[in-house]
Structure formats: C-alpha cells, structure tokens
Amino acid sequence: METLTVIKAGTGVLTRASDGTLDGASLVRLVTAIAGLVESGHRCLLVSSGAVGAGVSAFGLGGYPSDLTTKQACAAVGQARLMHTYGSLFQNFNLAVAQVLLTAADLQTPERRQYVSDTLHRLLAEPNIVPIINENDSVAVEELRVGDNDMLSSQVAALLGAKTLVLLTSVDGLLSPETNELVEDVPDVNAVLGFAKDERGRFSIGGMASKLQAVKNSVDAGITVHIAHGRKPERLAAILAGEKGVSTRFAANAQ
C-alpha cells in the first residue's frame, strides 16, 4: 500500500458558522482536493467532524446543543446527511466512501483495536475507496469518548502507521502570539503549547489547544503533522509536496 495520509476536517471547515448547516461549497472543495491526491497515487483516509452540527438545523436549534441526548440525536440525523453528501461528491470522481464510526473502546480494547485495524487496512487496499471516520457521537457518552476528532485522527494515524497527519482548521496554521504570522516549522511541539488560543465555534468541540495535544501524540509516534486552512484544501497537494508557507509543519520525532 502506498504511504498513507490521514486528513482531519473540523466542524468549522464543513459547516456554516451562522447556523451550523453543512457548507456545500466547502465540501466540494475538500472532496475535489482529496480526489486529486488519490488520483496522483496517495492513499487517503478522512476523519470528518460535522455530524452534530449537520443535524442541528433539523431540530431548529440556534447553536450546539448542551444536553447529551439532544447532541446524540443531532449526530444521528447529521451523520446520515454528512455521508450522503460525501458519497454523492466522491462518486463524481468514481470513488466510493466507507463509513467507520468509532468509540474509545474500539481503540483501547486490544481485540477490537485489531478488528478496526484489519477493516481499515482492507479498505485502504482498494484504490477507489476513501474511508471516512467519525466518533460515534450517537452512542458515545463521556466514558466512551475518544475526546474529539483531533485526538481520534491522531490515534487512527498511529494505529495505521500513517506517515502524515493533516489537521484542517479555520486558520492557516499555528500563529505566533507576538507577530500573528504563520509559524511554518515547529521542531519541538512542547515549545509552542502556550501559543494556543482555545477558541471554539458554536457548532464545534475542539480548539487549537486540543490540536496541539493531538500533534504531540502524533509526532511522538513518528508521524509528521501539518495544521492547515481547511477552507483552502487545494493546498493539500502542496503541503504533501513539502512546500513552505501553506501550513504549520511539526516534525516527527525519531523512532
């Protein structure tokens, strides 16, 4: 199998900030970029947020639900909407999608972890299938949660031995608190943990602090990580080609 890249797209990338509904134009750009990577020989796995946000409008809510039951119900509606959209868009590039919903126990219990690994490796062996992973928000209560999809993507990347993890967010990457300019390379993630402003949108869960913790786990596992702008997914090819100025790159620690 070709070298694997795990791409994580956050809720802020996939839904409209105004009402949390799916942003069709943003999804078209993301799918087009991933399809281009697959066409050029990359194996890609997508960890996609957006299920709860995508389901919010069906319940007439003005923001992210605070109670667990409504949150899980929104996820049940939204996950179906999300996968229907992905399936239709990837079909335009003759690519099929596979849905894999996970809880923490699926990655922590050795037997179940092996089943997940086997299934994902089998899917990735097929060049025309793009696996799409999300946390199983409809059933995952606190003790079953991975945490958020930044952490989920980090754990999946480590499980599959991915070379690269790209965390797509609503900014160009990690910004310096002094200059507000993009930090292009970070040789030691511990040195920038204090840079994070843990800002979240109404329909999202994680923030930059969460991303940096996921980055730390990944680089410690020998995975190179990029934080990049999810509204500009056409940069993905340049990121994987090693171009500067299009992301913040965190170097993998030697194994």
pLDDT 10s digits, 171-214? 898 888 888 889 999 988 888 877 655 454 443 444 677 788 89
Tens of pLDDT, residue by residue over 36-55, are: 999 999 999 999 988 888 88
pLDDT at 201: 46
* Nearest residue to 157 via CA among 3, 50, 1: 3
Do the domain assignments include residue 13?
yes
110-124 and 149-160 are packed helices; what angle lies between their axes, rounded to 10 degrees? Answer: 80
Using one digit for the tens of pLDDT, what is the confidence trace for 77-104?
Answer: 999 999 999 999 999 999 999 999 998 8
Question: Is residue 75's pLDDT more than 60?
Answer: yes
pLDDT at position 152: 93
Number of domains composing the chain: 1
- Beta partners for residue 9, in sequence order: 48, 168
- pLDDT above 60 for 144: no
Residue 122 lies in a domain: yes
Query: Is 137 marked within a binding site?
Result: yes
Q: Is 244 annotated as a binding residue?
A: no
211 carries a ligand binding annotation:
no
Q: Is 185 annotated as a binding residue?
A: no
> Is pLDDT of 255 > 80?
no
145 within some domain: yes
**pLDDT value of position 141:** 57
The answer to the question of residue 255 being in a domain is no
CB 5 within 8 A of CB 224: no
User: What CATH number is associated with residue 96?
Assistant: 3.40.1160.10
Reported for 238-246, long-range contacts at CB under 8 A and 24+ positions apart, including other chains, are 239/166, 240/5, 240/37, 240/42, 240/164, 240/166, 244/184, 245/182, 245/184, 246/172
3-class SS at 226? strand
Mean pLDDT (whole number) for 121-130? 97
Tell me which residue range forms the domain holding 25. Answer: 4-250
Average pLDDT, the chain: 88
- Domain annotation covers residue 43: yes
Backbone φ, ψ for residue 82 (5° rounding): -60, -50
